Structure 1
Amino acid sequence: MTFSLPFQIMASTTMGELCLRPVSPEQEGFFSRIIQIIEDTYPDDWRSWEIQDLSYSDLFGEKISSRIEAKLRFAIPTAEMAMAYCPNDASLSEKKYRLIKRKLLEWPLGRALLYSPHSIMEKIHDKSYEDFIKTVKLLKPRLTARDEASTSECTLRKRGSTSPISLRGNKTPRYESSEPNRVPVTDSFMAKMMDLLTKQWTSDNNVSPKTPSPGDLARYLINLYNVKKLAPRTILVHKSAISTFTKPCNTSPLSDHPLVKKTIKAILLKNPPKRCSYIWNVADLVNWMGQRKIEDSSLFQISQHVATLLLLATGRRVHDLTLLHIDAEHCQITREQIIFWPSFGSKTDNANYRQSGWCLSKSDKTTFDLCYWIPKLINKSEQRRKADPTLTNLFITTRNRVKAASRSVITGWLRLILKDAKIKGSPGSFRSAVATDNWVNKNLDIDEVLRKGNWRSSSTFLKHYFKEVEARTRNVIANQAMSDLFFTI
């Protein structure tokens, strides 16, 4: 018996060819302004990028699901996109933002500008992946959330900012708002930043603030250190700001030039950072948590407890907790174990590597049993999730507006835990404390330590995160090691 597998041959095209396809007259103005934004912000060769010519139905079927629609993001600066849609009103309400996304999805070039969900972007940019993802990274500061773009725009109108500046040197936009004070927030910020940082120095040294050379930037950084007496970390902020806002789409940013790198290295060597040689003992926190009573009616305390247990078990980054979802695609729950498949977005994730799945086993002690607390957290947050049915994140805010808990929110929960336990350390120190404990106290193989913590390099762990453990200040109760409950898959 033979079987024939249906397959579809996907046609290739270029970004430039999509620009030439006819559009409806009522959308022609909006789409032409979007093309101009791309001209001003993308590399010069963007029209030659080869992509897969996929229709709406190829990507989403007959109708796009609300869950996928909520995740759609376009590689177009948010503030500029709002102005392109309605030059007379640059505000960006939720309804207006949804309309803009739907119109862009109907446009072949609009679909080619999708960078989220990542799986869809990979289908479209099969051959131009590296060029497109590099451009997205460079534009990331300008790809703001809808509410941030709308709030920033209102702030600018109150301040009366009036002078738009293009990020591409001598290129200027072909359209202007009928109200001169409605300009993209990033352009105004760039003008103020460059004026604040370099005005006096560039005028004294005859340097162009818009197109400095690597040598100009190196001399400016030396001036900040020798004359202005700024701290090395402050100098790094200046370097990053100038590198970001001068020719952001250059294939080689100013900050990557060897001369700039050697200058920064010399400044840091003059003031080497003080390294903390001790890390807190994991056993102290485990002991304190074993004696802590958690209110079953408090979503805050349950969320706080689960976040702490996950970091103690895995030793992952705090940011990785924001990548956990409870939908069937990313989570499988049984009484004996829970498996998470984190979404794309970890620090180490790229086109060729994704962090491992999380397999959490049942514990004999209820206090440390994630197979008990995670379902309890999901059930307790069920009522709040009704305000946004598309919300699938494991951690959500416990008060005010219902949304996914950000890294800063979770960090706040962990900071309170450490404070109540009288442990001196930041939320980010969980990673160092757990990895050090796994290697020193639990005698795990170095490869197993790296695998559990999603480390890519042993040298990074040994150089920056492995530290001497502080002497225990309290007796440690007998408990099942948290790291024994976690396995990578």
Structure 2
Amino acid sequence: MANDGKSQLETRRVEILSTQYQLTALTSDAQQLLTQHTVQDSSTNRSYRRGQILFLQWASDNNISDNKFSPIDLINFLSAMKSTHNYAVTTLQLFRSAVSQLHQNSSSFRDDPLLNKFIATLTARAPPIRLHRQTIDLQPTFHYLSSLDNTSTSLTSRQGKLAFLLGVACFFRPSDLQRIPLDSVRVVEDSIISHLKDDLVVTVLALSISLFSHFSTTRVSPDLAFLCLEVHCPKEKRQGCRIIKSFKVRAHTNSITLCPLQTFLVYAQRRPVCSSLSLFVNSISPDRPLQASTIQGWISRLLRRSTSEPRVSLRSIASSLALASGIPKDDVVTMGNWSNSSTFENHYRREHLSQFDFTSTLITLD
């Protein structure tokens, strides 16, 4: 697609999204609020953009209305994307949501029986999904991080190390790490935190000890017990409302080189003076915004020291290691901020094989 064509399609896309509420009896203030929701620079809207652009091009080529199309038109578009590009079902489902947003009555597509049957048919014909994936041993990465000299490594390496350790201890996504305000991060003494009755504190403490053990005998001062921080506006919401999620990460009791708190203290001393209000900054131009994809790059490079599996999620690996270490599943679900255990089981849990000895228990002569 030529650049001029892309520009025209993008202009039309924004125009449709910006004007779809103007034909109603809504006040101008109400229209503006609804329009901002569909055109704001959010992760959901960014993920919708490609499907919307592809549909506008397809609609133009096939003389189809780009904002008054029918469910059959949408089915034909998805079928064309499947046959032409062989997109996965999950991608086509994303396209369905994205394209529906362009319609003047997007809610009418949610329960259309033919459209739902088409998606269900694609899902049933898709290649089988492997449920069980081997738990990844992070020791090679931990050994590498332990060997880093916090005082002499580059800004990128220091940030990557801190991001990785926090990602493991708190099941953070790259976007979560991106949304940690610097002024929310503080060190709290053990004498203060001991008076708090917070299940999340217990969970993080257990995770920190279980996942970062056996790498050093140097002890961290017990006076610096917890690293407290917040994630503002994570992906999860509560009843549609944005949230602020608080975390307390215990200083590692056995390893100073793998201690998230100690790593933060070293990083904070050398963090560039800049206008950024976030914990992590752009390593090349600290005053410029840091993208979540950059943090993902830091984590992916460290993960490659432990696995060659492509597109692995540190959030998934850490949660599976927590289960293998004896952390109760309820605590893992709470720590990961999942809405329910089925979400964790379906999307993040890697280990789906029972470790119980069914053979000796069930096959007997007694």
Scaled by the length of structure 1, the TM-score of the pair is 0.52
Structural mapping, 1:426-465, within 5 Å: 429-439=313-323, 441-465=324-348
- Residue 317 of structure 1 corresponds to 173
- Contact 2:141 2:306 survives alignment (8 Å): no
- Residue 256 of structure 2 corresponds to 366
Going from structure 1 to structure 2, the CA distance change for 1:291 and 1:283 (only over 3 Å counts) comes to: same
- Residue 208 of structure 1 corresponds to 65
Inter-partner Cα distance in structure 1 for 2:345 and 2:94: 27
Unaligned stretches of 5+ residues in structure 2:
1-14, 189-223, 354-366
- Residue 411 of structure 1 corresponds to 296
Scaled by the length of structure 2, the TM-score of the pair is 0.68
- The one of 261, 265, 277 equivalent to 1:392 is 277
CA shift for structure 1 position 293: 2.1
Going from structure 1 to structure 2, the CA distance change for 1:270 and 1:141 (only over 3 Å counts) comes to: farther
Q: Does 1:331 align with 2:310?
A: no
Inter-partner Cα distance in structure 2 for 1:462 and 1:344: 24
Equivalent AA in structure 2 for residue 378 of structure 1: A
CA shift for structure 1 position 208: 3.2
Equivalent AA in structure 2 for residue 267 of structure 1: L
What SS class does the counterpart of residue 277 from structure 2 fall into? coil
CA shift for structure 1 position 262: 2.7
Inter-partner Cα distance in structure 2 for 1:264 and 1:276: 21
Equivalent AA in structure 1 for residue 252 of structure 2: S
Inter-partner Cα distance in structure 1 for 2:245 and 2:252: 21
CA shift for structure 1 position 261: 2.9
Question: What are the Cα deviations for residues 26-76 of structure 1, in whole angstroms up to 9, with x where unaligned?
Answer: xxxxxxxxxx999835362431878xxxxxxxxxxxxxxxxxxxxxxxx96
Unaligned stretches of 5+ residues in structure 1:
1-35, 51-74, 77-112, 114-131, 149-185, 471-489
What SS class does the counterpart of residue 65 from structure 2 fall into? coil
- Residue 244 of structure 1 corresponds to 101
Equivalent AA in structure 2 for residue 278 of structure 1: R
Q: Does 1:268 align with 2:123?
A: yes
What SS class does the counterpart of residue 356 from structure 1 fall into? strand
- Residue 198 of structure 2 corresponds to none
- Residue 58 of structure 2 corresponds to 197
CA shift for structure 1 position 197: 1.6
- Contact 2:145 2:161 survives alignment (8 Å): no
Q: How many residues align?
A: 298
Inter-partner Cα distance in structure 1 for 2:161 and 2:132: 28
Q: Larger Rg: 1 or 2?
A: 1
Going from structure 1 to structure 2, the CA distance change for 1:231 and 1:342 (only over 3 Å counts) comes to: closer
Equivalent AA in structure 2 for residue 42 of structure 1: Y
Inter-partner Cα distance in structure 2 for 1:267 and 1:437: 33
Question: What are the Cα deviations for residues 97-152 of structure 1, in whole angstroms up to 9, with x where unaligned?
Answer: xxxxxxxxxxxxxxxx6xxxxxxxxxxxxxxxxxx5xx543233699xxxx9xxxx
The answer to which of 230-239 and 330-339 deviates more is: 230-239
Q: Which structure would you say has the larger RCO, counting Cα contacts within 8 Å and 6 or more residues apart?
A: 2
- Contact 1:279 1:433 survives alignment (8 Å): no
Inter-partner Cα distance in structure 2 for 1:283 and 1:141: 35
Q: Does 1:46 align with 2:26?
A: yes
Inter-partner Cα distance in structure 1 for 2:269 and 2:108: 48
Structural mapping, 1:370-381, within 5 Å: 370-381=260-271
CA RMSD in angstroms, aligned pairs only: 3.8
Inter-partner Cα distance in structure 2 for 1:213 and 1:377: 55
- The one of 331, 340, 351 equivalent to 1:468 is 351
Going from structure 1 to structure 2, the CA distance change for 1:442 and 1:213 (only over 3 Å counts) comes to: same
Inter-partner Cα distance in structure 2 for 1:461 and 1:455: 6
Question: What are the Cα deviations for residues 356-386 of structure 1, in whole angstroms up to 9, with x where unaligned?
Answer: 3110111131112122111221221133x2x
